[in-house]
Amino acid sequence: MNFYNFFINQFTILIPELYLFIFINILLLYGVIYNTSQYYNYPNLVKNIGYLSLQIILITFFLIINNNFAFFLIFNKILLHSNFTSFFKLFILILSFLCFFISFNYLKNEKINTFEYHILLLIVVLGSLFLTSANDFLTLYLSIEIISLSLYILASYKTNSSLSTEAGLKYVILGSFSSGLFLFGVSLIYGFTGTINFTDLSIIFFDDINTYYAIILGLIFFLISFLFKLGAAPFHMWVADIYEGIPISVTIFLTTVPKVAILNVLIRICYSIFYHLIDYWQPLLSGSAIISIVFITFVLVTQKKIKRFLAYSSIVHIGYLLLGISLGTTYGVQASILYLMIYMINTINIWTILISIDYIKQYNKIKYISDLNFLYKTNPILAFILTLSLFSMAGIPPLAGFFAKFYIFLAALENASYFLLFVGILTSIISTFYYIRIIKIVYFESKQQHFYYSQLNYKNAIVLSLSTLIIVFFIFFLKFFLLLSKTITLNIFFYDYFNSFIIFKKFLITYIINL
């Protein structure tokens, strides 16, 4: 009976991760056995394993939805299950599904025929789910390394490309340096508290206001490591080079799934464990946010390569996210979560456009922003969608990006952070210049050499249609996203008082009926 209770209480909550882990191994065995089989004439299993991966992600999604536990600590408190972590897991799985879905045609055109590609991406998804649930520094570190090791391989996956090899090598070196900072910070915290568990640390810091400076130093090193992983300035030196060198399908995954998981942990740690040290982590996050927004905004003006442009643009958006988190208020967290959801929709939209037009019939590749000059003449609908996406990222009303920035600025105004508000608004105005510059190239510039883009496949068309619909008509979905972000935020502070996940599911049903 005791073993039965242990199984019910511990492993039942972990069923989605266990299911994903088991089927990753099954796919690996399937690929190894059939791909090397002379009897089956060494079949190409990339498409098969890709569709199976979509099915696995979808089933994992529904397994998490049907988990009605509101709050639970499992395996001696090393993993946390709450409504807050469940929301982020679902978000990660949705983004993963979209990243898999839009990459099939790209893999075919780039002749990436190894079945291990999709398995490595599934390992990243598994690591992201464990990272979201991590409740001590050891589990957190192991989850990050699971993600990082897979991404190191994926970054240098195109072995015939010197840029991909260089990007993979840079990623390994700088990622290892980041992990070293993380371990050094955690060792200081452990040395002066005697524990690495988040629950125990929150109790210690709640009871004892007097904190050793070594713990503060450890927290700073830990946060620097996380800012490094997020690619926030001034720890952004790796982002542009790696984005430019790695395959686009990997870039889309790198800029979405791991960042959502890391931001989840960052919010949880700052607000649940180290909140009483806000005087120390708030200047670090707000300083990084200001540098990311101001400095990188002016760097963006000089960019000519499209992948580097999008890399630096992602740093600016990370700056806005950090700005909301650094406010130290529930409204700031809610605004950041809302911004994260809108930013990820925008990111999927614009990278789907890029991955759709990257393959040209003349076997030339789009490398520079100026290469988009013939898009309006070749595909006016795709050019119009790109324009809407860029306007949204710039924060032009009434598109989704406007509401993302509006609520960040509103949270800063409510917190009387007038300097952050002024910097955010000013740089947001300046940023419209380089987004409009791309639109000018698409519609009004012409060159002697024109690019003829291949036809958009139906998978990418579906994703573009849905994401564009949300971006353009976001004002009609505003109530939905506001309630969602508020529900997620409340679960940081009130996770064991009510099951707001069930409340949200009831709201979702009512919302759909009333449409």
pLDDT (tens digit, 9 = 90+) per residue, 156-192?
887 777 778 888 888 888 888 999 999 999 999 998 8
d(CA 241, CA 311): 9
Average pLDDT, the chain: 85
What's this model's pTM, rounded to 2 decimal places?
0.93
CA distances from 300 to 311, 363, 437, 509 (A): 9, 28, 11, 43
Region 109-137 average pLDDT: 91
Residue where the block lists tokens 């090393």: 78
Q: What is the pLDDT of residues 267-290, one digit of tens each?
A: 999 888 888 888 889 999 999 999
Going by C-alpha positions, the residue among 389, 390, 387 that lies closest to residue 379 is 387
pLDDT above 90 covers a percentage of the chain that reads 40
Residue where the block lists tokens 């995954």: 253
**Length of the chain, please?**
515
Give Cβ neighbours of residue 194 (< 8 Å, ≥ 6 apart): none
CA distances from 365 to 69, 81, 109, 218, 252 (A): 49, 45, 12, 45, 17
Residue 412 burial (10 A CB sphere; 0-12, 13-18, 19+): buried
d(CA 92, CA 185): 27
* Confidence class for position 359, pLDDT limits 50, 70, 90: very low
d(CA 263, CA 283): 17
Q: Phi and psi (nearest 5°) for 238?
A: -90, -20
Contact 15, 67 (CB under 8 A): yes
d(CA 471, CA 463): 12
pLDDT of residue 500: 46
Q: What is the pLDDT of residues 23-66, one digit of tens each?
A: 999 999 998 888 877 777 777 888 899 999 999 999 999 999 88
